[in-house]
Structure 1
Amino acid sequence: MKIQEVIVVEGRDDTAKLKQAVNADTIETNGSAVKTSVINQIRHAQTKRGVIIFTDPDYPGSRIRHIVANAVDGCKHAFLQQDDARAKNENGKSIGIEHASPAALRQALQNVYTLTEDEPVSITRDDLIAEGLIGTPEAARRRERLGALLHIGHTNGKQLLKRLSMFRISKHQFNQAMNRVRQEEDNERKTNSNT
Structure 2
Amino acid sequence: MIREVIVVEGKEDTVAVRRALEADTIETGGSAINESVLRRIELAQERRGVIVFTDPDAPGERIRKIVAARVPDCKHAFLTKDEARGKDGIGVEHAAPEAIRRALEQVRTPEAGEGGGAAEIEWSDLLDAGLIVHGSAARRRERMGELLGIGYANGKQFHKRCSTFRITRKEFAEALEQLEREGI
| TM > 0.5 fold call | yes
Counterparts of residues 44-193 of structure 1 (less than 5 Å): 44-87=43-86, 89-90=87-88, 94-116=89-111, 119-185=117-183
Q: Which residue of 2 aligns with 1:189?
A: none
Report the Cα distance in structure 1 between the residues aligned to 2:57 and 2:137, rounded to whole angstroms. 18
Q: Which residue of 1 aligns with 2:23?
A: 24
Report the Cα distance in structure 1 between the residues aligned to 2:118 and 2:175, rounded to whole angstroms. 20
Report the Cα distance in structure 2 between the residues aligned to 1:131 and 1:39, rounded to whole angstroms. 37
Equivalent pair of 1:7/1:24 in contact (CA under 8 Å): yes
Report the Cα distance in structure 1 between the residues aligned to 2:128 and 2:91, rounded to whole angstroms. 33
Over aligned residue pairs, what C-alpha RMSD do you find? 1.4
Q: Name the amino acid aligned to 2:5.
A: V
SS in structure 2 of the partner of residue 175 of structure 1: helix
The more displaced of 43-52 and 110-119 is: 110-119
Report the Cα distance in structure 2 between the residues aligned to 1:19 and 1:115, rounded to whole angstroms. 26
Higher helix share: 1
The CA deviation at 1:158 is: 1.3
SS in structure 2 of the partner of residue 52 of structure 1: strand
Counterparts of residues 7-46 of structure 1 (less than 5 Å): 7-46=6-45
Report the Cα distance in structure 2 between the residues aligned to 1:127 and 1:59, rounded to whole angstroms. 25
Query: What TM-score comes out, normalization by structure 2 length?
Result: 0.95
* Structure 1 residues 21-65: Cα deviation after superposition (integer angstroms, max 9, x where no partner): 010000000021211110111111111110000000000000000
Report the Cα distance in structure 2 between the residues aligned to 1:76 and 1:124, rounded to whole angstroms. 23
Count matched residues: 181
Report the Cα distance in structure 1 between the residues aligned to 2:49 and 2:29, rounded to whole angstroms. 20
Report the Cα distance in structure 1 between the residues aligned to 2:142 and 2:117, rounded to whole angstroms. 24
SS in structure 2 of the partner of residue 83 of structure 1: coil
* Structure 1 residues 99-127: Cα deviation after superposition (integer angstroms, max 9, x where no partner): 00000000000011112596201111111
Q: 5+ residue gaps in structure 1?
A: 187-195
Q: 5+ residue gaps in structure 2?
A: none
Equivalent pair of 1:119/1:165 in contact (CA under 8 Å): no
Q: Percent identity, please.
A: 52
